[in-house]
Amino acid sequence: MGGTAKAPIHRYSFLTQETDLRGEEALHQVGGNKYGSVEAISFEDRTIDIKKREDSATIHASAVYAHKVIDTKVMAQSLVCIGEYVVQHGLTGCEPYQAARDLLLKAAPRVGRQALKIDGETPLDAALRLCGHLEGGILPIQGPPGAGKTYIGANMIVECVKRHQTVGITANSHKVIRNLIDETIKVSDERKVALQCAHRAAEREDPQHKLSFPKKNEELLAALGGLVQVGGATAWVWSRPLVRAAMPFAAVPSDRPAPFRP
């Protein structure tokens, strides 16, 4: 399908399967040897065009995979910062890294003297009530698939925005982050709450209803607290020193809104 004699582009068919390949990924043969890169892929025709290397030009592998080493240095440094703080100040107290320390200690949610759930109260009603009393720390919400965690989380985010708070969303994948952002936008429309979301995603998209896609971390950070009230990004973004430095960590009394609720 083109290329050169030394680096030809070969087209292969593949069986129906799920894959994250979209183009330009570096490919490896089974065993680890480098094979080439994805020039194009068609899920409709189930074909993939692979630009070969000189040493793989005559090899037709029966299976290939993409592998990218993701540097976790920024998260390791963030953990070191927490450890250094604990060495100097101890595990308890309402200071920086409170949520992380509360999670390690399995501390109860910091909601003043509020009950986590009142008799006859639905989980959603309880979560919305507690939004007005959170003083940092953590508030775990747990349940099986379909229990309504995303719906409750979206309603809590909208409630926090109504209280003039800025909300950060994180998860292990952009797909999970986007799912919560989409639900948040849906709930905000239903409750007629004005808000703007931003997703620092792996793939940039055109702006959508109540959702933008900043290209750089600095753009997301600059927008938060201003035109954007809800920001979504993975731990690779939230762990960066630039972001951590911009997030106020001090506990906030329950009778006034927090400037930022991680």
The pLDDT value recorded for residue 247 is 63
Note whether 206 and 92 are same-domain residues.
yes
Q: Would residue 253 count as lying in a domain?
A: no
Whether pLDDT at 102 is above 50: yes
260 falls within a domain: no
Q: What percent of the chain has pLDDT over 90?
A: 70
Boundaries of domain holding 46: 9-66
**226: domain CATH number?**
3.40.50
**How do residues 67-91 score in pLDDT, each as one tens digit?**
877 788 999 999 999 999 999 999 9
Domain presence at residue 4: no
Residue 87 lies in a domain: yes
For residues 178 and 54, membership in a common domain is answered with no
Mean pLDDT, residues 251-262: 38
Q: What is the 3-state secondary structure (H, E, C) of the chain?
A: CCECCCCEEEEEECCCCCCCCCCCCEEEECCCCEEEEEEEEECCCCEEEEEECHHHCCCCCCCEEECCCCCCHHHHHHHHHHHHHHHHHCCCCCCCCHHHHHHHHCCCCCCCCCCCCCCCCCHHHHHHHHCCCCCCCCCCCCCCCCCCHHHHHHHHHHHHHHCCCCEEECCCCHHHHHHHHHHHHHHHHHCCCCCCEEECCCCCCCCECCEECCCCHHHHHHHECCCECEEECCHHHHCCHHHHHHCCCCCCCCCCCCCCEC
84 and 17 in a common domain: no
Residue range 235-254: average pLDDT? 66
> Could you tell me if 57 and 80 lie in one domain?
no
Predicted confidence band of residue 248 (pLDDT cuts 50, 70, 90): low
Prediction pTM value: 0.72
- As for how many domains the chain has, the answer is 2
